[in-house]
Amino acid sequence: MTTSIKSVNTQEAQASALGTTAEETEELSESTKMQLEALGITVTEGMTEAQAQEKIEQAKRQKAQQAGTPASETEVTADIKNLASAIGISYEDTTDPQEILTRIAEELEAQIDEAAENPQELNNLMRYYRELTSLDAEYDDIQKGQAKIYSALNMISESNKKAFGLE
């Protein structure tokens, strides 16, 4: 299942029309600073939030390439829950990650509609939206991979039943 937000395209167009001057002048958020430090990236003077987020994404991609394996379901679920917390969505520990993704999308859509006149807030919300899109795709890929594995195991099970005359 893929999450979608209906009004994002028009909001992105509004953000483009308003320009990125608010994002260029903003200081780095504490969470961004912590992420940079955790990845071993030095925070430079004059670094914008967008530049910092790009460096974080590059470091994550590089780390994933070095590891040679995609993120696990546990890692993606933790990232989904972190995004939910950042946006202000509460959830139970047992809540399905897909449900959390859906709730994040709904909340972002509502916040984007409210922030239509505030370019700085709109930029922050669009950053969250990009992260949501990425996490949704990752989680969907993991679910598809698991379905293929379960299907293959089922085929092996059926084959073994036939081979041993149990069917």
Split the chain (167 residues) into runs of 10 and give each run's mean pLDDT: 49 44 58 79 84 84 67 89 92 93 95 87 90 92 92 93 88
Tokens of 94: 């047992």
Residue 38: the pLDDT is: 75
Residue 69: the pLDDT is: 60
Domain limits for position 51: 8-163
Q: Could you tell me if residue 1 is inside a domain? A: no
Please list the alpha-helical segments (H only) found in 88-167: 97-114, 119-163
Q: Could you tell me if residue 13 is inside a domain? A: yes
Confidence (pTM): 0.58
Residue 26: the pLDDT is: 57
Q: Could you tell me if residue 3 is inside a domain? A: no
Contact 23, 2 (CB under 8 A): no
Residue 67: the pLDDT is: 59
Q: Could you tell me if residue 2 is inside a domain? A: no
Q: Could you tell me if residue 69 is inside a domain? A: yes
| Number of domains within the chain | 1
